[in-house]
Amino acid sequence: MTLTGVAATFSGLSSAALAAESGMKPWQLGLQNSVTGVMDDISWFNSFTLVIMTVIVLFVLALLILCAVKFSARANPVPSRTSHNTMIEVVWTIVPILILVVIAIPSFRLLYKQLDIPEYDMTVKAVGYQWYWGYEYTDEGMEDLSFDSIMVRDDERQEVAEARGVTLAEVPRLLAVDYDLVIPVDTTVRLQVTSEDVIHSFAMPSFGVKIDAIPGRLNESWFHAREEGVYYGQCSELCGKDHAFMPIAVRVVSKDQFTTWAAAAQDDLDTANEQLMASIKAGKTLASKGELKEISVAAK
């Protein structure tokens, strides 16, 4: 394998890794990659119901074709005067009920799993505003840590990418924000959601989280992210003229990185973020060198 081939392969791995960690890719169809147990179940249930729907559609199509051929005017010059069939009436009443029961059982189990908050390690409060999100870390020792998260405009993306030491592709249009919500990996997080003005909705597809932010009410959900990376969501409730410009960005980091970031962020958030990005970049560089070494050995 030539050096050009090695470089191309390495570039492909980097792009694949970026797509995997963000949970999305260009022109994507279907659900984002799952990084929580709840989203695993949602993905399974989506495929499960799709199979049932496909079987029903094919069955109905077969019946239509059968009726069109068998009961056409050419095949039956004298039309049947049959008005009903007791067995058919019973079957098309009982079978749909059984199908709905088969769908309902895993559906109720999934709803219970989403709403039943397990023993959690930390709590984050998300407050919706027109048109951005505010985050508060409410656990002991982090009471002073809070900030607003505002979408990065198109004319700011290049500047933000340079400041973070990342490529422009890693500052996605209409999704990147100035301050990410930082969460430690393999940690059960209780998410409290409310609003200061109108109804918003906190939606994070890769986590399987979607919960309304209602003024005067505190709703709760939870997630447990098992992979590091940056994951994106959006407000999913029409909340005014800038509803489409109210993204959510959650950066999942190692527990050591989070502890260091949280301690520094309470005094200086910008400096803490710079140190966090430097730590992440150093980790990626080491991982990339390891991947390139493996590719080079394989090429030999």
> Which residues 6+ apart lie within 8 Å of 134 measured at CB?
126, 127, 128, 146, 147, 148, 149
Sign of CA dihedral 286, 291, 294, 299: negative
Q: Which residues pair with 177 in a beta bridge?
A: 151
pLDDT at 191 (0 to 100): 96
Measured in whole angstroms, the distance separating CA 155 from the mean position of its chain's CA atoms is 26
pLDDT at 17 (0 to 100): 42
Measured in whole angstroms, the distance separating CA 279 from the mean position of its chain's CA atoms is 25
Stated pTM of the model:
0.81
pLDDT along the chain (300 residues), means of 10: 39 41 73 92 96 96 91 80 84 94 96 93 96 94 91 94 89 94 96 96 95 96 94 95 95 94 93 92 69 48
Which of 150, 152, 148, 124 lies closest to 138 in space, CA to CA? 124
pLDDT at 141 (0 to 100): 84
pLDDT at 181 (0 to 100): 96
Which domains are seen in the chain, by residue range? 37-115 (1.10.287), 122-290 (2.60.40.420)
Would you tell me the crossing angle of helices 3-22 and 269-299 to the nearest 10 degrees? 140
pLDDT at 25 (0 to 100): 75
Would you tell me the crossing angle of helices 255-265 and 269-299 to the nearest 10 degrees? 160
Place of tokens 């009903």: 84
pLDDT at 287 (0 to 100): 59
pLDDT at 175 (0 to 100): 93
How far apart are the C-alpha atoms of 270 and 262, rounded to whole Å?
Answer: 12
